[in-house]
Amino acid sequence: MYNICIIPARKGSKRIKGKNIKIFFKKPMIEYSITAAKKSKCFKEILVSTDCAKIAKIARDLGAYVPKLRPKKLASDRIPVGDVISYSLKNIPNLNKIDFVCNINAASPLISDFYIKKGLEIIKNNKYDYVFGVKEFESPIQRSFSLNKNNLIRKTNIKFSKKRSQDIEKKFYDSGQFYWARPKVFLNKKNLFKSKAYGLRLPYKFSYDINNRIDLEISKMIFKFRKK
């Protein structure tokens, strides 16, 4: 099969400066994603899409393919990742040969090649639009509530307040780690939540979305725990 991996890695990051190449246990963050993609042996090519020459050099040194730098209009934090994937695919000469594409997050140091491979097995044997990593909410979100401007509780799901946790339907969220799909699904920018998408459950020790410094410190603790 001819499968490719696309790792979007822009320069800008408001909450953690240079997040995609920030050093995480002596390695730039993006190295973990590239290494996992390599170890999975799922891909003919690992492509890094970036607007930054420094990121491009690091990615090339790690054996990834980096085409010309991404246009500035596609490097804003307001640009959906789907637009970046679509742009990358449109600039691949042998697009018609590609069977599956996997979009992997550049800042996923806990990523496992095992789940990348598992995602491919699922999508190639089923008629799903997407296969992507999901995680279970730690507490039942049906018991969530709001606070007013005076920090007083405004319950929103009172009917669940007396139910046992084990009797409440489990809910999940997008881990933000990887997304498998056929090229045409990415090219058509098909909405993940309006499509036939399979949620591959990921254990916490193999997935933690890093958006801020607290997430970064938690990921470090998980990484240390995993090593032990």
The CATH H-level superfamily of 3-133+173-227 is Spore Coat Polysaccharide Biosynthesis Protein SpsA; Chain A (3.90.550.10)
Measured between alpha carbons, how far is 81 from 72 in angstroms, rounded to an integer? 14
Q: Which has the higher per-residue pLDDT, 4 or 154?
A: 4
Residue 19 phi, psi (nearest 5) = -55, -45
| 118 CA to centre of own chain | 15
Range in 83-92, 152-161, 203-212 the model is least confident about: 152-161
Domain locations along the chain: 3-133+173-227
Distance CA 63, CA 156 (A): 50
| Residue 36 parent element (H or E) | helix 29-40
Reported as a single tens digit per residue, the pLDDT across 162-208 is 888 888 999 999 999 999 999 999 999 999 999 999 999 999 999 98
Residue 21 is encoded by which pair of tokens?
Answer: 């190449």
Residue 29 has pLDDT above 80, yes or no: yes
This prediction's pTM: 0.93
H-helix or E-strand containing 5? Answer: strand 3-8
Q: Distance between CA 135 and CA 199 in Å, rounded?
A: 9
- Map residue 39 onto helix, strand or coil: helix
